[in-house]
Amino acid sequence: MKICGIELKASDAILVVLETEGEDFHHVNLKTKKISLGDGDVNADVLSFKEAIDTFVLDNQIEKIFIKKRGKTGRFAGGANTFKMEGLIQLSTVGEVTLISPQTTAAMQKKNKIELPTTLNAYQHDAYLTAVTGMHFKA
């Protein structure tokens, strides 16, 4: 099974795909590492983002998506575009989309020594940890 971890940051959906078999998994190093939303106020850009997410999911046979949850209020609250992207991803062709809180990911890291693959770019680390956490907690 293939799962996807996503971190939403500014106007980017940062993507990491893992291939799982039972408790074993490995990072699938794909060419597409992020999908950007152009202008969130322009209908064509929003539709383009939705189509890009759907194409990515179908082309890579993603069965589950885990999104790093952003705060709704306060200092670390997500911006309008991240909430828009989250909604569009939840409407994707994948049947199961789950939000993973940063606290859950931190607890997972504290309990388990998670090594980051060398195939990851630095900006993909949170998306990777979100995918690993979602896979283990089957949230």
- Using the predicted structure, report yes or no on whether residue 15 has a pLDDT greater than 80: yes
- Using the predicted structure, report yes or no on whether residue 90 has a pLDDT greater than 80: yes
CA atoms within 13 Å, Cβ hemisphere of 38: 12
- Using the predicted structure, report yes or no on whether residue 72 has a pLDDT greater than 80: no
For the segment 16-40, the average pLDDT, to the nearest whole number, is 93
- Using the predicted structure, report yes or no on whether residue 92 has a pLDDT greater than 90: no
Name the residue with tokens 């859950």: 104
- Using the predicted structure, report yes or no on whether residue 76 has a pLDDT greater than 70: no
State how far the Cα of 114 lies from the Cα of 91, in Å rounded to an integer. Answer: 30
Spatial contact of 91 and 50, defined as CB atoms under 8 Å apart: yes
